[in-house]
Amino acid sequence: MIDQVIPVLHVTSARVAEVFYCGQLGFRRVFPLGEVPPGPCYMGVVRDGAVIHLSSHAGDGVVGGVAYLVVDSVDLLHEELARKRVPIHLGPTDQTWGMREMYVRDPDGNTIRFGQPGR
């Protein structure tokens, strides 16, 4: 039985990734591994029930990956992130496939898509 899927996004710096994911997107670091400059890192971050792993190890994802997170309210999250001056790649948009979505990009070019079922 599969209980959970956790995306692994490739990052180049644990410090930069932690500032973005924890300081700006509101995640909390639950574990770090590595980051003895210039060594690779592997860390897990969580917000509410969403878990993302961030890795700079070779072979763990590629820069430009995507994680899709289902949220209660794209608009409320947009307000929160705008207050924190997070660059928004795509503002709240009603998509033709029935989702309301917003996209942000991390400093490494990975995209975090936030979606809620259409209104």
pLDDT digits (tens, 9 = 90+) for 56-103: 998 898 889 999 999 999 999 999 999 999 999 999 999 999 999 999
* CA distances for 94 relative to 43, 68, 91, 100, 113, angstroms: 33, 16, 10, 4, 13
Q: Are 103 and 112 in contact, with CB atoms under 8 Å apart?
A: yes
For the entire predicted model, the pTM comes to: 0.89
111-117/66-70 β-pairing: parallel
Set out the domains of the chain in order of their start, with CATH numbers.
8-117 (3.10.180.10)
- For a pLDDT cut of 90, what percent of the chain falls above it? 72
